[in-house]
Structure 1
């Protein structure tokens, strides 16, 4: 599992966030089932350096007061105007505590159906799961190169590593190879034509029955 190292400093709760940010620090909190919430701050340059590489499944080694803690990023607060990071939340799980997080689903290969003109409809990009910290994987890879038009990938079809429990039903669709828009329109027109052909027959049958009854 890919790890990222960050050095944190204890933070005085009375110090305002704007003051810290102006000093080149990012305010944050650390919490978990076996600890009280701790206010910390991080070097702004270091935070910006790793932000595009951190996902919910990324293991972060957080150094604090000479001790190392395995943490996970659970929340990012950004400025509404500048979109810059202004606060972070870190979660430190216990060894036997299952976490609920989202694992990215990566589709590998070009489906046969796409070569025939189909379109990939990726419905669920991240799978919600319950998992122990030791069993976390960064992504679930699915080879979709053999998928033809109309193929549906469901949660139950995924090869999920042991120890990871999906929080969705097995029948929930992850992705499908849909018909192109033009083909859908033709298909809908054909259905409409069939319905129009059937309707007069039903009406005529009704009239004939009425005549026989008379």
Structure 2
């Protein structure tokens, strides 16, 4: 998984006045948990843009006065009116420590049911998984190509040795639903035609032809 670096400074004071002063200066007060003691720090709000305002997921390297910490974003608070970032919490981890992340799910291919007029609906845009940060993917690929109308793709279809899925096995990622533009599945239609033709005895056609000839006479 990709990582971004945040350069910040440790906070000496954590009172309301100092916190307000930081925000007025364009800084975001933050706390890093997971170590022996919480680490209070701040960083420019613009430095968090590539972490917060993106559909992608990243781990973070927090650089505080020359000392680096590997971390993941745990919580974030926004101003109710301006949407400015008010506060952020991070959780420190080691390279040997498994972490829990919500990874985006990307569809691959065009579902067979969509080609026949169905609609692909996603039930799960992000999957909660657990694993080593070095092995977690930037996104999880879900191959929807074989899905027919009415079919569902479950989380078990994207299992991997690199992470553990933290959803029940019957959790649906996406499904192809019917729509007004539905058309018959070409392969099923061909198979049905072959079966129907095989069910009609040759003698039956001959009998009908003979009866028609008799009537004409």
The answer to whether TM tops 0.5 is yes
SS in 2 for 1:168: coil
SS in 1 for 2:117: coil
- Please, which runs of 5 or more residues in structure 2 have no aligned partner? 183-217
Match of residue 25 from structure 2: 23
Alignment of 1:54-133 (within 5 A): 55=56, 57-133=57-133
Shift of 1:181: 5.8
- Please, which runs of 5 or more residues in structure 1 have no aligned partner? 184-214
The structure that has the greater radius of gyration is 2
Match of residue 180 from structure 1: 179
Partners of 1:93 and 1:133 within 8 A in 2 = no
Instruction: Provide the C-alpha distance between the structure 1 equivalents of 2:47 and 2:171, rounded to a whole number of angstroms.
Output: 39
Give the TM-score taking structure 2 as reference length: 0.75
SS in 1 for 2:134: helix
Match of residue 47 from structure 1: 48
Instruction: Provide the C-alpha distance between the structure 1 equivalents of 2:54 and 2:40, rounded to a whole number of angstroms.
Output: 23
Following TM superposition, the consecutive aligned residue runs of length 4 or more in structure 1 with deviations greater than 6 angstroms are none
User: CA 1:50–1:96 in 2, change beyond 3 Å: closer, same or farther?
Assistant: closer
SS in 2 for 1:6: strand
SS in 2 for 1:36: coil
SS in 2 for 1:135: coil
